[in-house]
Amino acid sequence: MAAHVVMERATFPPSRPSLAFAAGRRFVAERAPILRSSFGSAILLGLRFVQARLISVWGLIVAASLCPPSVFAAFAVFSAAVNFVSTASLLRLEAVFFRSSDPVRLGLAFRLAVVVGAMFLALSALVLIGLVLTGWVAPAVAFFFLVSLAGRAVLRLIWSEATAEGDFRAIGNSNVVQAVVQPVIMLMLIGIFGPKALALFMADACGHLLAALYLLRRRRAALLPLVQPHLWGLNSLVAAAYRWRDAPRALLPSALLAYGFSIAPILALPYANNVLLAAHVALSMRLLDMPAQMFGTVSIPLALNRLRSYAGVRRRFWIRVMALGLICASVALFAGAAVVGHLVDGFLDGTQWAGVGEVIAMMSLFYCGIALVGPLQEVATLSRQPLWQVLINALALAAMIGVMLWYGTLTPALLYAIGVVSVVRTLLHVVFIWLHLGDADGAVSRDFVAMGAKP
C-alpha cells in the first residue's frame, strides 16, 4: 500500500534541454514522457491488482478451511460455467474498441455492444427459466447465475471502454472493490447459511455486481456522451453489426474455445475417481487463477492501449518486444508459484488439503500457458487473419480432450500432460503474433474506408 501511494504521488523529472539538440536525443526526449506514463500506469495498475488479490486471498483461504472439498469443487464449476457464458455476452464486440482512436467509432461500437449485451442477458434469463421449470437447475442457483452473469457482462464492457481510453486507475480500483466486498459477503453468508455451495454462489454474484456498479459510477462522465438518445438509430446499429461481423464470426469462437480449454480440467472433476485429488485440483486452479488474472489484468490493458496508437513497422516491432517480455514474465511468475507450492505442502500435513502444494506445482505449467495466451489472444484480435486463432484454439482443445480421454481419469500424469499441451498451444500463439500482426493495418484502413473516414 505504501508503494502504491508513493507511485501515485511521484513526479518524474523533466528531460534535460540539451537532449533536444541531436535528432536521436530529441527522439528520446519527445517519447520519454510517454514511456514514463506507460511505466507509471503499469506499476500503479499492478499494485492495485496485487492489493486486490492480497485482500481477497484471506477470504479464499478461510472459505477453503470452513467448506468441505465437495462444496469448493461445486463453486469452481459454477464460477467456470458463468465465466464461460459471460465470454459470449458481448459477442466479442468489445475487441472493436481497440481498432482505432476515433471516438465516433468507439461510441458506435459501445452502443452496439450494449444492445447485444442486453439481448444476450434476456435470452439467458429465458434459458435459465426453462432449466428451472424442467428441474435441471434449482431456482436460487439460476437466479444468482444470472446476477453474476450480468455483473461480469457489465464489467467486460466498461473494462474494455476504460482500457481503450487509458483509464487504468478505474480498472484497478474496480478489482479492489470486488476484492474487499466479495470475501466479506462470503464469510457472512457462510456464517448465516453454513458452509454450503449456495453461499459461495451468492457471494460471487454480489461481488461482481457491486464492482460493476462502482465502475459505472466511476466512468459515467465518459459513458454518458456515448449513449445520448439522439445517437441511437436502428440503421446505424445494423450497419455497424454488418461492418464488424468478424467479431462474432471469428473472435467469439476463438474466445470460447480458449476459455473451454482453460476450464477443461474443472469440467472433468465431477467424473474423477479420486475425489480428494479433484478437490485439490479445484483449489489449485482457484489459487493459480489469481496470478493468471493479475498477469492478464496488468498486461492486456497496457498492451492494447499502446498498440492502438501504433501502425506499420512500429506496431510490428513493439508486438515482438512485448511478446518476448510477456514470455519471460509468465515463466518467472509461475515458476515461483511452483516453488511456493512445494514449500507450502509441509505446513498442510494432517489436514484435508495435505498434498495440494504438489498439485499447485503440477498445475503451474498449465497456467503458465493460460496466462500468456490471454494477452496474446487479445492482441491478435488486431490481425486481419482471425480465423487462425480459431484453428489454433480448436486444435488445442481437441488435443486436451484427447489427452483426457487417453488417461481416462484424473491422475498426476494427466496434470503434467495437459500442462505440456498448454505450453505447445502458447508457442503456436507466439508464432502467429510474431508473423502476422503487421498485417493488421490493412484491416483497420479498410474499416475506416467503410465508415467514410480517412485512415
Answer for the pair 236, 109: CB distance below 8 angstroms, yes or no: no
Q: What is the predicted pLDDT for the residue at 1?
A: 39
pLDDT over 70 at 405, yes or no? yes
The rounded mean pLDDT for the chain is 77
Q: Is it the case that residue 443 has pLDDT exceeding 80? A: no
Q: Phi and psi dihedrals of 215, rounded to 5?
A: -65, -35
pLDDT of amino acid 33:
44
Look up residue 59 and give its three cell numbers: 477470504
Q: Alpha-carbon distance 133 to 332, whole Å?
A: 49
pLDDT exceeds cutoff 80 at 240: yes
Residues 316 and 120: their CA atoms lie apart, in Å, by 36
Per-residue confidence (pLDDT) for residue 48, from 0 to 100: 59
Please compute the mean of the pLDDT values over residues 209-217 and round it to a whole number: 92
Distance of alpha carbon 389 from the chain centroid:
17
Mean pLDDT confidence for 427-454 = 57
Residue predicted with more confidence, 68 or 400: 400
Tens digit of each residue's pLDDT (9 = 90 or more) over 170-203 = 887 887 888 788 888 888 888 888 888 888 899 9
For residue 400, give the amino acid letter.
Answer: M
Residues for the chain: how many in total?
A: 455
- What span, in angstroms and rounded, lies between the C-alpha atoms of 197 and 202? 9
pLDDT score, position 42: 54
Instruction: Give CA–CA dist 145/268, Å, rounded.
Output: 20
Contact between 189 and 126 under an 8 Å Cβ cutoff? The reply is no
- Chain centroid to CA 179: 16
Across 41-55, 229-243, 289-303, the highest mean pLDDT is recorded for: 229-243
- The set of residues, in sequence order, having a beta carbon less than 8 Å from that of 247 and lying 6+ positions away, is 91, 92, 93, 95, 96
pLDDT digits (tens, 9 = 90+) for 325-336: 889 989 999 999
Average pLDDT value for residue range 433-438: 73
* Among the listed residues 265, 277, 279, the one whose alpha carbon sits nearest the alpha carbon of residue 370: 265
pLDDT at 301: 73
